Structure 1
Amino acid sequence: MIQEQRLVRLITLKLIPFLVLLYLVAYVDRSAVGFAKLHMGADVGIGDAAYGFGAGLFFIGYFLFEVPSNLLLDRFGARRWFARILVTWGAITVGMAFVSGPNGFYVMRFLLGAAEAGFFPGVLYYITQWYPVRHRGKILGFFILSQPLAMLVTGPLSGALLGLDGYFGLHGWQWLFICIGTPAVLLAWPTLRLLPDGPDKVRWLSEAERAWLKEQLQNDLCEFGQTRHGNPLHALKDRRVLLLALYYLPVTLSIYGLGLWLPTLIHQFGGSDLVTGFVSAVPYLFGILGLLVVPRSSDRLNDRYGHLGVLYALGAAGLFLSAWLSAPVLQLAALCLVAFALFSCTAVFWTLPGRFFSGASAAAGIALINSIGNLGGYLGPFGIGALKAYTGNLASGLYFLSMVMLLGLMLTGVVYTRLERRQREGAALAGTSR
């Protein structure tokens, strides 16, 4: 008799801490540009609008290369493909230290997005090969802990590295890119050695455990009526994929729009770079709290859409208050609420695609949802930069993000009606016909 909780705990201990480490390094890589901007703008000649445009180009590269990357992961296996991603994104991040003008900044941000494309959705797909649907909310919550943990690390680390200005003739922002890009390259070899491609490739699972896991994943296929297209590219035309991508867009737009401008917002409170780094880390403590509590609640109650609706509402309220309030302490409290809502929302949302797709269709569908959703990573930074340049303050950008989260709240009912309820009715009809 297989002890389910013990087996899930074993798989989690073997896989999730290492995946958290890898994504933590990735998220530090993509987020540190917000701190580099505090000084590199004057050295390289990048204004607010140009910074917003260049920061967002990362997500254009991500968008264009994400689906091919996830399909290649399915072909070559997780460990080899993840190792390739690590080497290329680490090398490009180090290269960011040597940009000499706005055009170089634009090119390197685009290439960084292309290099990293497929890692996050690749891990999401990888998790669907190891865990039944009923366990994925909690597991995704653990994995997405990488994001707020990375921001906790990024703030103080970036503040300290910016203080190296002048060492060996390099600016502090150059040291920042060099020091955060190098770990990605160094982690490629451990990835090849330690990360298994799938349950069939490991010695620490017994034959009975492998058989049980395969049976549970097959049961999910039947229970949720998951689609497995003969040609995985057909998933890209599936209306469910496009609707889920639209539903995810407000979250990514808000996370990246806020994250890449948060150091600038906190810097306005006053204080040194190091103080800005530490204060910028505070909201992410609440992001961690949300990820430890909300996905577990979603799994326990088997409720995704109710939780998502509440989280979209909290995010909209927090963003509005962070712009409307003028006292720094109250603004920071509102930003803490935003971080709690946004990161929790990410974990709960990513339990949805695995309910509708499996196999290579899941790889393609997850990649497309994330790539379209990550256009928010372009629109968020660019939109806030453009609004700041036009109005002269960041409050207009925060009001914009609040309206976007309200759109997500309205979409919750639409997604539930058109996807979940319809799928349950279809599964029930299929069950009565058998």
Structure 2
Amino acid sequence: MDFEKNVIRTVTYRLIPALILLYVVAYIDRGAVGFAHLHMGADVGIGDAAYGFGAGLFFIGYFMFEVPSNLLLAKFGARKWFTRILLTWGLITMAMALTQGPKSFYALRFLLGVAEAGFFPGILYLITQWFPVRHRGKIMGMFVLSQPIAMVIAGPLSGALLGMDGMANMHGWQWLFIAVGLPAVLLALPTYLYLPDDIKTANWLTTEQKSWLQNELVKDESEYEQTRHANPLHALKDKRVLLLALYYLPVTLSIYGLNLWLPTIIKQFGGGSDLRVGFLSSIPYLFGVVGLLIIPRSTDRLNDRYGHLGFLYAVGAFAMFLSAWLTSPVLQLVALSAVAFCLFSTTAVFWTLPGRFLTGSSAAAGIALINSVGNLGGYLGPYGIGLLKEYTGHMAAGLYFLSVVMVFGLILTYFVYAKFEKKKSEKTTVSEQAY
């Protein structure tokens, strides 16, 4: 047991902080457009519906190129492919400062999605290649911490950068895009030099540790009846993959709908400076961090995924409803904090599911498809809220819409449980009776 703890601890310390850093940079990049919208719309003529459409186009590019990107990652290795992703997305984000109107905004958002495609599912695939199933709940929780941590940083940082309006004859939102894109470019070379491609090339593990880790991953294939398709593209036709893709859609739709509109929601609380809006926008994400420190560890300890997911969807849907129904800014912020607690925890728990039945390049293809279909919610959420806000004149309609979406996620929890765990439980019972 001490040997196992030492191996997992070594791998965790060597990989997870670096991956968290990279994804913090990516997530700050994603959230920046929500803050830029506070002023960019008026400066270059982008309305609420156009903003929602353009913000969502990122995920269309992501959707179209995610599976090919993850398969190329499996072929070329993480360090080379992540280096390419960092360079291209960083440069395109900086180019967002050149936005002149809706058309250039649409084009750059789409290209940004193409550039970053495969990064998040690539990291998830990497985790399945390094950690046995029984450790993945905690590891996923640690990694997904990067999302709310990024948004905690993004709020005050974006507010401060927007305050640079007029410096060097540039708008504050232009400074914002340059500042959040530059770290990705600067981290490209360190990423290439630091990340190992696989267990065999990790010179910080002993031969015995490498052998043990590889054997544990092989045992998981047998114990969890994991599938390794001869052609990894066959994973795209696996009904379990398609069901999980649908199941992931409500959480991405809700989380990106909230992320990209939260600064606008906070602004409507009563105005205030951009810096004040930035700090207030950070509060819900602090509760997201708390959720990720509690819920994934609880799922590992109790060996329960679906009970936790059902609870999170139910509470999240109710809290989202309250955030629209309540009129007190303080109570609205409390409700939004509960929503963030549930959404980020749901993300971490969900991503322990695909690796329970897929492995190897099949996992790369399957995870990419699940994430790409799920991330269509990143298009539907912001765009849907933008349309509803423009039609009704109020943000409440968009929040009610997200509440219904999370109820749909709650309903799907039963069907996913019946497909994955109920049948497995019945099969085990039949085997025991036969014995």
- For the aligned pair, the TM-score class normalised by the smaller chain equals over 0.9
Q: Which residue number corresponds to residue 385 of structure 2?
A: 384
Unaligned runs of 5+ in 2: none
Q: Distance in 2 between matches of 1:431 and 1:6?
A: 35
Q: How does 1:321-360 map to 2 (within 5 A)?
A: 321-360=322-361
**SS at 1:363 equivalent:** helix
Q: Which residue number corresponds to residue 285 of structure 2?
A: 284
Q: Distance in 2 between matches of 1:420 and 1:129?
A: 23
Q: Distance in 2 between matches of 1:240 and 1:414?
A: 11
| Paired residue type of 1:148 | P
Q: 1:426 to 1:228 in 2, by over 3 A?
A: farther
Q: How does 1:241-320 map to 2 (within 5 A)?
A: 241-269=241-269, 270-320=271-321
**SS at 1:129 equivalent:** helix
Deviation of residue 320 (structure 1)? 0.2
Deviation of residue 257 (structure 1)? 0.3
Deviation of residue 314 (structure 1)? 1.1
Q: Which residue number corresponds to residue 16 of structure 2?
A: 16
Q: Distance in 1 between matches of 2:203 and 2:277?
A: 47
| Paired residue type of 2:98 | F
Q: Distance in 2 between matches of 1:314 and 1:245?
A: 22
Q: Tell whether 2:137 aligns with 1:155.
A: no
Q: Distance in 1 between matches of 2:260 and 2:62?
A: 16
Q: Which residue number corresponds to residue 409 of structure 1?
A: 410
Q: Distance in 1 between matches of 2:131 and 2:397?
A: 42
Q: Which residue number corresponds to residue 199 of structure 1?
A: 199
C-alpha distance after superposition, 1:138-179 (max 9, x if no partner): 001110111001100110000000000011110000000000
Contact 1:144 1:347 in 2 (8 A): yes
Shift >3 Å, 4+ stretches:
423-434
C-alpha distance after superposition, 1:299-325 (max 9, x if no partner): 011100000000001110110000000
Q: Distance in 1 between matches of 2:360 and 2:429?
A: 23
Deviation of residue 429 (structure 1)? 7.4
Q: Distance in 2 between matches of 1:427 and 1:373?
A: 31
Q: Tell whether 2:144 aligns with 1:144.
A: yes
Q: Distance in 2 between matches of 1:432 and 1:80?
A: 51
Q: Distance in 1 between matches of 2:44 and 2:359?
A: 46
C-alpha distance after superposition, 1:170-201 (max 9, x if no partner): 00000000000000000000001111111110
Contact 1:140 1:350 in 2 (8 A): yes
Q: Distance in 2 between matches of 1:397 and 1:159?
A: 24
| Paired residue type of 1:149 | I
Number of equivalences? 434
C-alpha distance after superposition, 1:16-42 (max 9, x if no partner): 001000000000111100000000001
C-alpha distance after superposition, 1:235-284 (max 9, x if no partner): 00111011001111000000000110000000011211100000000000
Q: Which residue number corresponds to residue 91 of structure 2?
A: 91
Deviation of residue 421 (structure 1)? 2.5
Deviation of residue 431 (structure 1)? 9.8
Contact 1:124 1:366 in 2 (8 A): yes
Q: 1:237 to 1:281 in 2, by over 3 A?
A: same
Contact 1:223 1:427 in 2 (8 A): no
Q: Which residue number corresponds to residue 171 of structure 2?
A: 171
| Paired residue type of 2:349 | V
Deviation of residue 418 (structure 1)? 1.2
**SS at 1:32 equivalent:** helix
More displaced, 102-111 or 202-211?
Answer: 202-211
Unaligned runs of 5+ in 1: none
More displaced, 210-219 or 77-86?
Answer: 210-219
Q: 1:217 to 1:429 in 2, by over 3 A?
A: farther
Deviation of residue 5 (structure 1)? 1.3
Q: Distance in 2 between matches of 1:431 and 1:361?
A: 31
| Paired residue type of 1:155 | G
**SS at 2:130 equivalent:** coil
Identity over aligned pairs, percent = 69
Q: Tell whether 2:115 aligns with 1:101.
A: no
Contact 1:323 1:395 in 2 (8 A): yes
C-alpha distance after superposition, 1:60-112 (max 9, x if no partner): 00000000000000000000000000000000000000011100000000000
| Paired residue type of 2:419 | R
Deviation of residue 132 (structure 1)? 0.4
Deviation of residue 207 (structure 1)? 1.1
**SS at 1:3 equivalent:** helix
Q: Which residue number corresponds to residue 185 of structure 1?
A: 185
Q: Distance in 1 between matches of 2:211 and 2:432?
A: 24
Q: 1:199 to 1:426 in 2, by over 3 A?
A: farther
Q: Tell whether 2:38 aligns with 1:38.
A: yes
Q: Distance in 1 between matches of 2:410 and 2:67?
A: 27
TM-score normalised by L of structure 1? 0.98
Q: Which residue number corresponds to residue 419 of structure 2?
A: 418
Q: How does 1:109-124 map to 2 (within 5 A)?
A: 109-124=109-124
Deviation of residue 335 (structure 1)? 0.4
Q: Distance in 1 between matches of 2:338 and 2:121?
A: 26
| Paired residue type of 2:188 | A
Q: Distance in 2 between matches of 1:230 and 1:433?
A: 33
Contact 1:224 1:424 in 2 (8 A): no
| Paired residue type of 1:385 | G
Q: Which residue number corresponds to residue 68 of structure 2?
A: 68
